[in-house]
Amino acid sequence: MSEAKKTTGYRGRWAWVDLTDRTVRVEPADPAYGRDYVGGRGLQARLMADHLERTGPLQDPLSPLNRVVVGSAALNDTAVATAGRGSCSFVGTMARSPRPAAWVPGHKPVYGLLTHSSAGGLFPNMLKRAGFDQVVIDGRADRPVRLEAVEGTLRIVDAEDELFETVQGRRVPRAASLITDFLASRVKGGSTLTVGPAGWNLVDFACLTADYHRNFGRGGAGAVFGSKNLVAVTAYGKEAVAYADAEAFKRLGQDLDKLIKASVDDPNRTASFRPTTGTTWWLDRAFNGRYLGAKGGYLPWHNFDEGSFDPGDYAKVSTDAFLAISGKHSVCNKCRHIFCTRSAKVDAGPYAGEGVRPEFETIALWINCCILDRDAIFHLNALCNELGVDTMTFGSVMAGAMELAEKGFLAKFGEAPKFGDAAGMVRTLKDIAYASTPLGRLLGGHSDRVIAEAAAGASAADLAAVAYCLTTAYGGLGYAGINPKAFPGMFTAYGTSNRGRGDHTYAWTIQAEEGGLKDARDLAAYVAEGQGGKALVDSLGLCDFFTGDITAEPFLSLYGALTGTAYTPESLKDCGRRIYALERRMNNLQGRDRTYDAYVAPKLKVPLGRGAHQGRAVDEAFYNSVLDAYYAAWGWSRDGRVL
């Protein structure tokens, strides 16, 4: 551990795990990577790029050649509010379309995008306390294994029988909470990141679950763990990071804390809603404009066909409906003031239980399945956490499957749920996670495979009708919970996100568009700027809801007092742009160019029929003009390639 003492902010140690050879190598971190790529997401993008530049394009994200990196950033485990967000990077399973797809105009193969996922809880900070900034995992184990990072040592351990059960003839990991409890008995005080049965069964949208309900959700990290025969990573340590100037860090940290608290105390800022409603205040804003919004009308309904529905029905799943089942705060390690997560409890009925309140995006995408049963939504969310399923992509896939079922295209695969069928959705979730029925195995794969199999032997008209139902076609992650028809800027953010079509976390335009932003060049610049900024937030180990200004002088001084790195506002912004462009260059390598970005799911061209955004749809010509401006803003070629 001596080299860790020489570094400040980081622990200064990376572990290189080769599961095929069953070897672990611990080496000093490269300080130049820390300076140029900051940490977390940025550093992992560099480590992934080093790998992909050596191997060439990775055609199968489930092959042993895929790499997965788990780790943290310099600010993690310090006293900065929300500095508990860790990073996981890999080539994703969901954002791919490897084979010819007649339903995509001018289709070009995309083999899986470089994907970053962020999660809080305790795990990222505990991994750092254990002495590791990054754990780089290559290869595939010849039998189920897990990793144990404890007080400076990382070892590969054969996975115990107790971690598994047999369900419908398949040996799969137990529910995430049972694995977490078992490993807590092996490593006292430890924190565990685990795959669920969905990841083990290589479901394309399987996630990894840390600390019971914190997920590396989007993109298929669970499937990549499953493909490597890797069940869990457990971390435990006590050693704190060293500071370049501990006194200055403490003083500057207190100033920053006051600013964050002031933003939460200001009723004119959305931060003020988070301690009470978490992210669910967006439900009311999207439906009717409450919480500093305009008129709403963009909460997706019936597989994105509408942005509004009967207000009497809405009350069953509104912000207040979820507030009514909310309990105490249940937040990430190091969170202060913002406190977005709360426990939740359903007292009675078929979905009675205790857990956490679902997030806005999850609820919105299940309302998009016409589910108006709050308790069922709570239960489905808890089940996704236990089975290792990304709630968002699951919602998008289910909405598509429900429309396919409504139109009679899934009959040959068994009993598929129709819109509004909560019990059917619970059943199908289990079928997918346990790969236990033909329908479950079908829907657990990527959407181009679903289209090809659902339309096998059908006419060209039927093929188009099947493709129409799935907004996840051509390597989409699934659109998030803001109806993409209503906002051209948000559609651009969805369409250009480095981790795949539909992702909302890399740029967010709603407040700006509700405020009047609409010129193509302005929208493009706003999205590009947001993407570079978000790359920084993820690379600093902060949460999306951090309210400080990371390029303002006080924050730069704080960061310097921790790490000794002196950024200027411009040099730190350059890091964000460098990270985003590097990810994009890797995605170019994986087959992504303008063809992927420009794809508009056919149903998104059909106007909304009611609500404040009635008549709006994705305007393909306008979107293409925004794309032109977007590539120009980044300095990329007109076909979306990094020059």
Q: Which is nearer to ligand SF4, 94 or 335 (CB)?
A: 335
Of the residues 62, 176, 299, 335, which one makes contact with ligand SF4 according to CB under 6 A: 335
Cβ neighbours around 432 below 10 Å, total: 30
Q: Report how far residue 73's alpha carbon sits from residue 595's, in angstroms, rounded to the nearest whole number.
A: 34
Of the residues 543, 556, 561, 562, which one makes contact with ligand SF4 according to CB under 6 A: 543
What's the N-to-C CA distance of the chain in angstroms? 41
Q: Which stretch binds ligand SF4 (CB under 6 A): 92-100, 235-243, 336-344, 488-496?
A: 336-344
- Print burial letters for 410-419: b (CB count within 10 Å at least 16), e (below 16): beebeebbeb
Q: Which is nearer to ligand SF4, 343 or 588 (CB)?
A: 343
Angle ∠(34,524,570) on CA atoms, nearest 5:
35
Q: Which is nearer to ligand SF4, 212 or 526 (CB)?
A: 212
Q: Which is nearer to ligand SF4, 140 or 329 (CB)?
A: 329
Q: Give the pair of three-digit tokens for residue 258.
A: 């006051």
Q: Which is nearer to ligand SF4, 74 or 335 (CB)?
A: 335
Q: Is 409 in the site for ligand SF4 (CB under 6 A)?
A: no
Pairing of strands 353-356, 164-167: unpaired
Q: Which is nearer to ligand SF4, 67 or 274 (CB)?
A: 274
Q: Report how far residue 549's alpha carbon sits from residue 559's, in angstroms, rounded to the nearest whole number.
A: 12
Q: How far is CA 15 from the centre of its chain?
A: 24
Residue with tokens 């480590």: 47
Closest approach, Cβ 508 to ligand SF4, in A, equals 15
For 541-597, the DSSP string reads T--TT--S-TTSHHHHHHHHHHH-----HHHHHHHHHHHHHHHHHHHHHTT-SHHHH
Q: Which is nearer to ligand SF4, 331 or 429 (CB)?
A: 331
Q: Which stretch binds ligand SF4 (CB under 6 A): 312-320, 328-336, 350-358, 455-463?
A: 328-336
What is each CA distance from 525 to 439, 529, 544, 619, in whole angstroms?
43, 6, 20, 19
Q: Is 120 in the site for ligand SF4 (CB under 6 A)?
A: yes
132 near 70, Cβ under 8 Å? no
Closest approach, Cβ 574 to ligand SF4, in A, equals 26
Closest approach, Cβ 481 to ligand SF4, in A, equals 16
Closest approach, Cβ 590 to ligand SF4, in A, equals 29
Closest approach, Cβ 280 to ligand SF4, in A, equals 12
Fill in the amino acid letter for 29.
Answer: A
Q: How far is CA 174 from the centre of its chain?
A: 23
Q: Which stretch binds ligand SF4 (CB under 6 A): 102-110, 174-182, 329-337, 444-452?
A: 329-337
The residue count for binding ligand SF4 (CB under 6 A) is 12
For 87-112, the DSSP string reads EEEEE-SSSEE-S--TTSTT---EE-
Q: Which is nearer to ligand SF4, 48 or 344 (CB)?
A: 344
Closest approach, Cβ 619 to ligand SF4, in A, equals 34
Of the residues 43, 74, 136, 332, which one makes contact with ligand SF4 according to CB under 6 A: 332
Q: Which residues pair with 216 in a beta bridge?
A: 208
Q: Is 338 in the site for ligand SF4 (CB under 6 A)?
A: yes
Q: Is 340 in the site for ligand SF4 (CB under 6 A)?
A: yes
Of residues 545 through 564, those in contact with ligand SF4 by CB under 6 A are 545
Closest approach, Cβ 274 to ligand SF4, in A, equals 6
Q: Which is nearer to ligand SF4, 221 or 439 (CB)?
A: 221
Q: Which stretch binds ligand SF4 (CB under 6 A): 49-57, 318-326, 332-340, 424-432?
A: 332-340
Q: Which is nearer to ligand SF4, 539 or 565 (CB)?
A: 539
Closest approach, Cβ 556 to ligand SF4, in A, equals 21
Sign of CA dihedral 556, 560, 561, 562: positive
Residue with tokens 């309990």: 327
What is each CA distance from 496 to 94, 483, 527, 624, 626, in whole angstroms?
15, 16, 9, 12, 11
Question: In the stretch 57-96, what mask flags binding to ligand SF4 with x, by CB under 6 A?
Answer: -------------------------x-x------------
Closest approach, Cβ 4 to ligand SF4, in A, equals 25
Q: Report how far residue 86's alpha carbon sits from residue 135's, in angstroms, rounded to the nearest whole number.
A: 12
Q: Which stretch binds ligand SF4 (CB under 6 A): 182-190, 297-305, 333-341, 369-377?
A: 333-341
Closest approach, Cβ 326 to ligand SF4, in A, equals 13
Hey, is 67 helix, strand or coil? Answer: coil
Fill in the amino acid letter for 185.
Answer: S
Pairing of strands 326-329, 342-346: antiparallel
Q: At what angle do helices 391-406 and 422-433 cross, to 10 degrees?
A: 120
Closest approach, Cβ 260 to ligand SF4, in A, equals 10
Residues that bind ligand SF4 (CB under 6 A): 82, 84, 120, 331-332, 335, 338-341, 543, 545
